[in-house]
Structure 1
Amino acid sequence: MLSTLNNRDPREIGGYRLRARLGAGGMGEVYLSFAPGGRPLAIKVIRPEYADDPAFRARFAHEVRAAQEVSGRYTAPLLEAGPDAPVPWLATAYVIGPTLLDAVRAYGPLPLSTAQTLIAAIASALQNIHSCDVIHRDLSPGNVIIAADGPRVIDFGIARATDITKSLMTRTPIGTPGFMAPEVALGREAVPASDVFALGAIAYFAATGRSAYGDGTFASQLLRITNGEADLTGCPQELRSLIERCLSVDPTGRPTTAEVIAECAGTPRPAEGWLPPAMTTDIAARTAELARIAAQPAPPAEVLPRRNSALRWLIAAGAATVVLTAAILVTVKLLAGSTADPGRDPEELAGSSSTPAAQVSGTAAAASPPSPSPSPSPTADEVGWTGVIRINRDGIDMDRIPPTVDPNAGVIDLELGLTNDLESTIDGIGGGRETSVAHLPAGAQPSPRTCHDLISTVGTTRLVVQKNSIFCFQTEKGLVGYATITKISGGFTAGNTAKATVWATTEFA
């Protein structure tokens, strides 16, 4: 449902007065506004960490132009965007209704006739999207809105904008666990059939309320997807054959969108009563709430109260002081205890510690590509070491505790460098392994098993990273850990740092 603006929210974006909060997704915050004629709009405001990336802005502008060509009854059209604004944004038609994810969780699986209409309508939306040479790339229950006159597919194509350099991230999955096609999970190029796979997974979820690939970790779902291990227990017989073909590991074995529509009784025609009563009541309540907000005067157009800006500055300054003080203490401690390697430049020393570290529819969008949020806390009793590492052109030996810069040891587990003016890369060299680093997906809790499985399934030897990127790694001796990039100075220099955790275990059962 809608929620009121707080004193940290902007009051105007791109000339649109914001009226309420709709939710938050992987790319940014979503707000309600109204066009001059009264049409309700969903305004998505892009997160600052993306806005500061010139490469993202270029991709975002390209994807926005392509998405604006898409139209159709079962899509929420992208109406306007500001890719070059200080804070990039986009405006789509606001669809009154819950996401499919929220609807099924709240009211249970859909009746067969409703599920068939839903599947055919989504397939029709995909036909329109693909006809404009756009691929959704993140089709999931969180990106399908249940409206009174039929479902709407949202956020088509825009997920690609968060993909950082396809040529260097060809093995990094971008999408939602359980709805990601095998070829995408393996880092290959998404194709229209990739969206059909997601449609099959959505169809099973809508009809049963469950995921065809379980509810385990991100990595465990990827393993089942790439191995073709869908569990279709409880699937209605009328849908089972269609869903099985949609979930084919081989993209060429999946049906076309036209075939999906034909198997669901032809052209979808959602009529009054196509939804269960509980969902109809939900939509009616949302409609009444929207009318109430539309009747109220818009709040003042000020972006943020001055006192809050000052407060955020003070908080940021205080946080910087704490970080600087902590860094000085760690460096002093290391310098005092580094007699085993007296010839090293102090600037190359790694910090250490002996103590383990402890829609657009009004709902949050589904998971997204590598998260810029702070690192989650690992399980304390498994941590072997945690601290700040300094990555330079000689790399970091993560098999030493604490990790050290030691180019003569014959082991360089991690190094960070600039491949061009826009991209930084982490190279993982783990004893000749072909897969030694992998991005930790947004929302995933790091653990030895999660990192091990990610590296085993979608790992690579090179990742494109930015500040706040979180990635897993495996060392030459088999230890696993994860790190958050805290600073990138550019090039193979001694100025790149990351906060890292290494688990003292090689057991991943």
Structure 2
Amino acid sequence: MSGPFPGPGGGHVSDNAFHGSANVQAGGANFQNINHYPPPSRSVWPAVGGVLSVVLAAAAGALLVALKFGDDPDDRGGGQAREPAPASVPALAPGTSGPAAAPRTTPPSTPPAPRTGTEDAADRVQWTGTLRITEEGPRLDERPPVKYSYLRDVWLAQTDPAVLQGSDWSVNSTNLALWQGSTAPTRKDCAELVSTQGIDQVEVGRGTVVCVRTMYGRTAVLTVVSVSSSLRQGVLAEARVWSETETPETF
């Protein structure tokens, strides 16, 4: 900076030749103050940056706290978060030290299904179906029954009237019995009837029920469906043969 400087001899000051915090150039009736500060040292800038970072972080934290608790009516007085209320504890039964157990629900018991005769081993059915009785048998112990010309459990002896003949495998061929009950016989009914009232032949017609003991001691029941005048066509019957065996007849 330069300017006129009145005084003896006149002259000008073109540059500031003084250094310091306050430099004064004076003369005559005028004076000029020139303040000259040296540039800050490079080591000052990192410190300034650190201070600014701390200030900004503190301001951001204060702003987050204000946003978190500013709208909570319970925190307006103290400005601190409240701990959550503890969960309710179930009541304890007298004499217990742990949580009360939930009451047990006992499922309703299912009554057992009623038993039927076919569920018993003695009344298990070996075979049931329709068969034709001719002069060739059949043998009822086979499953299904088969025809033979000998060792027959029951066979057609004549057709008019139709007569069923008992076994030819025993000298005592009284293995037939006529059932006259109003309901179908059970295995036990037929077995007892043949044992007490067994005969060697029986005249039959449509609807006749005949109990039979087989060669191997099984019990069967025959219900006549139709009768033919031919020995080859024979008698058609619904048959049931039980699995249970009893002492068979001797030869």
TM-score (normalizing by structure 2): 0.47
Looking at secondary structure, tell me which structure has more strand per residue: 2
Looking at secondary structure, tell me which structure has more helix per residue: 1
Larger radius of gyration: 2
